[in-house]
Amino acid sequence: MSSKPAFLTIQGLHKQFGSFTALDQVSLDIQAGELVCLLGPSGCGKTTLLRCIAGLQQADQGVIVMAGRDITHLPPQQRDYGILFQSYALFPNLTVAQNIGYGLSPRKNLASQVRQRVSEMLDLVGLSGSENKYPAQLSGGQQQRVALARALAPSPSLLLLDEPMSALDAQVRERLRIELRALQKQLSITTLMVTHDQEEAMVMADRIAVMDKGRLVQFDRPQALYRAPADPFVAGFIGEANWLPFTPLHDCSVLVERVRLDLGHEAPNSAGRLFIRPENIRVLDTNNPANNTNTFLADIVDGVFLGRHYKLTLRPEGMDGLTVQAIVNPEQGDRLLDPLAARRCRIQLPSEALHAHH
Ligand code: ATP
């Protein structure tokens, strides 16, 4: 992927609001046709980054290159992108057709061409026949589709989406995510989407750029972020994580309270925290022989039934009150949580699922 020149290159972008640093030396390469999500908690700078790319905000330092052209100082209208915001931002007094045709210059397009393009766009977003309706006659999801059609009508080479689904209710949002992703792939349009919703980012993105406090913390495929988070912030932000404070022991081993854990590779030589996903903790019945590494008894403190699985809260022996969360299938959960059962289990923390962080 990195051998091709990127479609959009952001280099060393820095933005200060007074003494507050909103963007701290952000660099990012986006390939043509990719959908990249900017993900992070509120205030981390993702909207500021999008606005700098759109030319709605000027960065203090840094360069933005799009399709080989330095656009850092160009006005928004010369940058060749379509943009969609959280609120539909349609003109209430214009029809759907007029809204979609708004960005199509009458100087460059005949009225019949505009009509045809509007109808193509409505087809694309699944709203054929709605030309003469007014925004108020449409649901939130439909209005957002019209706004998308409007953004795409001039055939921009970049699509910028700023939390485009956050004003919609959960069901509509889930459907629209899938539709939007399918459409993006069909058009192969390079897309940058801001979201604070990790599930949305996981569902839609080719790659996710995780931001924290104005910095780009990690930029990778969703699977890679989930399996190998670069730091505790990413691990905690994407999916659920167990954290176990450790002290180094020797070679491949560390100590978590009084329990020795084998990491399967050279252990760090200073204290830190071990990270393991709940689904990677193996839960066994107590009668299972304990001849595997990193296997010990645990008390079952709590269990919640979540349909496809149970989430258990466990207190491993020798870890002095630390608890971990683990996932088990419904049958095993029923058995372990039976009121007559001993509420004990054996757990294994596989070496390959343990990641050490400082
Ligand atoms: P959210 O999801 O809440 O919009 P975000 O990650 O998109 O968060 P930004 O909108 O980029 O965050 O804002 C980053 C920080 O910069 C925030 O703390 C915000 O208050 C601050 N900020 C943004 N715009 C300005 C401005 N024009 N003047 C002063 N501070 C600003």
Q: Which CATH number covers residue 168?
A: 3.40.50.300
| Cβ of residue 48 lying under 6 Å from some atom of ligand 1 | yes
* Cα angle value 57/63/69 (rounded, 5°): 100
Q: Say how many Å lie between the first and final Cα of the chain, rounded.
A: 31
Q: Give pLDDT tens digits for 287-299.
A: 776 668 899 999 9
Are residues 24 and 151 located together in one domain of the fold? yes
Dist CA 345 CA 336 (whole Å)? 8
Name the residue with tokens 């993105």.
Answer: 205
Are residues 192 and 307 located together in one domain of the fold? no
Q: What is the mean pLDDT of the chain?
A: 91
Are residues 204 and 292 located together in one domain of the fold? no
In a domain, 170, yes or no: yes
In a domain, 32, yes or no: yes
Are residues 29 and 97 located together in one domain of the fold? yes
The reported pLDDT for the residue numbered 48 is: 97
Are residues 198 and 88 located together in one domain of the fold? yes
Domain edge (last residue) among 237, 261, 295: 237
Domain edge (last residue) among 237, 265, 291: 237
Segment 320-344 mean pLDDT? 93
Which residue type occupies 208? Answer: I
Q: Whose CA is nearest to atom 5 of ligand 1?
A: 43
Ligand 1 atom nearest to CA at 194? 7
Ligand 1 atom nearest to CA at 45? 11
Dist CA 308 CA 330 (whole Å)? 7
Q: Give pLDDT tens digits for 105-134.
A: 766 767 788 888 899 899 888 888 889 999
E strand residue ranges, the chain: 8-17, 20-30, 35-39, 61-66, 69-70, 81-84, 158-162, 190-195, 207-212, 215-220, 242-250, 253-256, 259-262, 272-276, 282-284, 295-305, 310-316, 324-328, 344-348, 355-357
Domain edge (last residue) among 213, 237, 261: 237
Dist CA 298 CA 345 (whole Å)? 5
Taking the model in full, what pTM does it have?
0.85
Here the CATH number for the domain that contains residue 272 is: 2.40.50.100
Are residues 46 and 175 located together in one domain of the fold? yes
In a domain, 1, yes or no: no
- CA 191 – ligand 1 centroid, Å: 21
Are residues 222 and 91 located together in one domain of the fold? yes
DSSP three-state, residue 225: helix
Both tokens of residue 267? 């252990």
Question: Quick one: pLDDT band at residue 261, thresholds 50, 70, 90?
Answer: very high
Are residues 175 and 259 located together in one domain of the fold? no
- CA 197 – ligand 1 centroid, Å: 17
Residue 76: name the closest of 51, 49, 45 by CA: 51
Structural domain of 259: 243-357
In a domain, 3, yes or no: no
In a domain, 88, yes or no: yes
Q: Whose CA is nearest to atom 1 of ligand 1?
A: 42
Domain total of the chain? 2
Are residues 164 and 292 located together in one domain of the fold? no
Contact 300, 312 (CB under 8 A): yes
Are residues 247 and 343 located together in one domain of the fold? yes
Contact 10, 26 (CB under 8 A): yes
Helix and strand element counts for the chain (H, E): 9, 20
